[in-house]
C-alpha cells in the first residue's frame, strides 16, 4: 500500500511504525474471509482491509477521528484472525492499537458512551470494586430482560454465582512438591480472580504438584488490556510498568524461569510489553525481558514432560481456542495435545477461527454483534455433543456459558482434575461429578 506521510510525521516513532505496517498491505482481501464482523455484516469498512484504509487516511491527514471511523474501529473485536490469514505479515494489532489511541485523544464521544467506558476502565482492573458491582448486578439480573442495549447486556452477563476472594490470589509463594524443577510467577489478573478464582487455584495445584514453585508477586495486577483496547495509553502503560517492576524484583531476587499466564487475553498483552514500552529508555529493556519470559500455561506445561494422569479422562471435550491464543500468540495445538495426552476425547469446534464475541469488554460495548457471534459459536459447539467445553480464556468461558447448559471450564482445571485435583467447579452436581473413569 502506498503511503503519503511527511518527513515530519515519520519522525514520530508511532507514525513510522504505522507506515511500515500500512506499506506491507497488498490489498489482497484474504483477511475478509476470516473477519467475524465482515462475515456477519458484509460491510467492507467492517473488514480489516476497510479499517486499514480508514486508519491510513486518519493518520496521514492527522485530522481528529470522525464518527464514521470510530464506528468501524469500535466494531473491531481485535480477534487478530486477520493476522493469521494475512500472507503479507501485516501487523494489524499494532495498527489498530494506534488508531484507538488517536481516537481517544481526538474524538469526543457521546456523554453516556464516555461515562460507560470510563466506568469499565476504572472498575474491571480493581477486583474488590468489581466484585461489589457484580453483586449488585446479581440482584438485578432477574430483570435483565426488561432492559435493552448495553445495560441489558451488562445485567445478563452478571454471573449466577459471586465467588468469595480466594486466598490463593494474595501475594505469597507456593512451594513445589518434591524436588523443585522451576520457579515461576503466576499472573492472577483482575477480572479472572473475581469471575473464576478456581482457575488460578487449579493452576497453582497442578504446577506445585509438578515440582514448580509458584509466586504471586506483590504489586502485580491487571495486565492493562482493558484500557489498552480503549486507546487509554497512559493507564495501560501504568499497569504494564507495575507488573514489570513486580516481576523484575522476583527475577533479580530468587529468580524466575517464566511468567505464567492462564488468561490468554492477558498473555497477548504482556507478551507485547516490550513493544508497548520500546521508546521508554527507563523501561524498554525490562519490558522486553518480561515479555520474553512470558508463557501461556499450556506452553509451559508442554515443556514440562507431563506425567501420566492419575485417572484417564474418558470424556468428550469441545475445545474452544481463544482468539488471543490462536491468533495473538500463535498457540494452536498445545492445549488440545495436553488434554488428549490426559485421556480426554478432544474435538475442535467448527469455525474455530471465528471469535465468540467476548473480546474483553466488547460484549458490553457492542452487545448486538457479540450476541450473534456467541450464538453462532454455541451452535457449533453443541453440534459436537460434548460432555464439557474447555477454553483458555475466562472471557470466552463466561461468554459461552451464558448461552448453553453445557459445563464450561478452563483446560487447566481438567488437567488438574485428572492429575489428582478436585472435580472442576462447573462439573459439580452433573453426572461427571466424580473421578474420571
CATH classification code of 167-302: 3.40.50
The distance of Cα 110 from the centroid of its chain, to the nearest Å, equals 27
Q: In this predicted model, what pLDDT tens digit does every residue of 64-103 receive, in sequence order?
A: 999 999 999 999 999 999 999 999 999 999 999 999 999 9
User: Could you check whether 167-302 and 316-427 share the same CATH topology?
Assistant: yes
Percent helix, strand and coil across the chain, each to the nearest 5 = 55, 10, 40
134 Cβ contact list (under 8 Å, min separation 6): 158, 159, 162, 194, 195
Give the pLDDT confidence score for residue 437 in this predicted structure.
47
Domain ranges of the chain: 7-106, 111-156, 167-302, 316-427
Give the pLDDT confidence score for residue 229 in this predicted structure.
96
Give the pLDDT confidence score for residue 390 in this predicted structure.
97
Compute, in degrees rounded to 10, the torsion defined by CA atoms 246, 249, 254, 259. Answer: 40
**Total-model pTM:** 0.93
In terms of CATH architecture, what is 7-106? Answer: Orthogonal Bundle (1.10)
Q: Which CATH class is domain 316-427?
A: alpha beta
251 Cβ contact list (under 8 Å, min separation 6): 289, 290, 293
Low-confidence ranges of the chain (pLDDT < 70): 144, 148, 312-313, 433-437
Reference 321, options 339, 341, 294; nearest CA is: 339
Cell matching residue 137:
448486578
Give the pLDDT confidence score for residue 312 in this predicted structure.
59
Give the pLDDT confidence score for residue 149 in this predicted structure.
75
Amino acid at each position: 500500500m502506498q503511503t503519503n506521510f511527511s518527513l515530519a510525521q515519520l519522525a514520530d516513532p508511532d507514525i513510522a511504525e504505522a507506515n511500515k505496517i500500512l506499506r506491507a498491505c497488498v490489498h489482497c482481501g484474504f483477511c475478509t474471509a476470516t473477519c467475524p464482523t465482515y462475515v456477519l455484516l458484509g460491510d467492507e469498512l467492517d473488514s480489516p482491509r476497510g479499517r486499514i484504509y480508514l486508519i491510513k487516511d486518519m493518520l496521514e491527514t492527522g485530522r481528529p477521528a470522525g464518527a464514521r471511523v470510530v464506528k468501524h474501529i469500535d466494531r473491531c473485536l481485535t480477534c487478530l484472525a486477520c493476522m493469521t490469514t494475512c500472507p503479507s505479515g501485516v501487523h494489524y494489532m499494532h495498527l489498530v492499537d494506534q488508531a484507538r489511541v488517536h481516537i481517544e485523544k481526538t474524538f469526543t464521544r457521546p456523554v453516556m458512551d464516555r461515562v460507560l467506558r470510563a466506568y469499565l476502565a476504572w472498575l474491571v482492573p480493581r477486583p474488590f470494586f468489581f466484585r461489589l458491582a457484580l453483586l449488585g448486578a446479581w440482584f438485578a439480573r432477574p430483570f435483565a430482560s426488561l432492559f435493552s442495549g448495553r445495560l441489558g447486556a451488562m445485567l445478563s452477563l452478571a454471573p449466577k454465582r459471586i465467588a468469595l476472594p480466594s486466598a490463593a490470589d494474595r501475594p505469597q509463594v507456593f512451594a513445589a512438591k518434591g524436588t523443585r524443577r522451576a520457579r515461576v510467577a503466576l499472573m492472577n489478573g483482575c477480572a479472572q480472580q473475581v469471575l473464576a478464582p478456581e482457575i488460578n487455584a487449579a493452576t497453582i495445584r497442578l504446577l506445585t504438584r509438578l515440582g514448580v514453585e509458584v509466586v504471586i508477586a506483590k504489586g502485580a495486577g491487571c495486565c492493562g488490556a482493558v484500557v489498552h483496547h480503549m486507546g487509554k495509553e497512559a493507564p495501560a502503560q501504568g499497569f504494564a510498568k507495575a507488573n514489570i517492576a513486580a516481576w523484575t524484583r522476583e527475577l533479580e531476587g530468587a529468580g524466575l524461569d517464566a511468567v505464567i499466564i492462564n488468561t490468554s487475553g492477558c498473555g497477548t498483552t504482556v507478551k507485547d510489553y516490550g513493544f508497548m514500552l520500546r521508546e521508554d529508555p527507563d523501561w524498554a529493556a525490562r519490558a522486553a525481558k518480561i515479555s520474553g519470559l512470558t508463557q501461556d500455561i499450556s506452553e509451559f506445561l508442554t515443556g514440562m514432560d507431563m506425567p501420566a494422569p492419575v485417572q484417564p479422562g474418558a470424556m468428550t471435550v469441545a475445545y474452544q481456542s481463544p482468539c488471543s491464543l490462536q491468533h495473538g500468540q500463535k498457540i494452536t495445538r498445545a492445549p488440545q495435545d495436553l488434554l488428549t495426552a490426559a485421556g480426554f476425547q478432544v474435538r475442535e469446534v467448527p469455525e474455530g477461527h471465528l471469535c465468540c464475541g467476548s473480546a474483553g469488554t466488547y460484549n458490553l460495548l457492542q452487545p448486538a454483534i457479540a450476541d450473534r457471534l456467541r450464538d453462532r459459536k454455541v451452535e457449533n459447539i453443541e453440534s459436537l455433543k460434548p460432555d464439557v467445553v474447555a477454553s483458555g480464556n475466562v472471557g470466552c468461558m463466561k461468554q459461552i456459558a451464558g448461552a448453553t447448559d453445557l459445563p464450561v471450564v478452563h483446560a487447566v482445571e481438567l488437567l488438574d482434575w485428572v492429575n489428582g485435583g478436585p472435580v472442576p467447579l462447573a462439573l459439580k452436581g452433573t453426572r461427571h461429578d466424580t473421578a474420571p473413569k
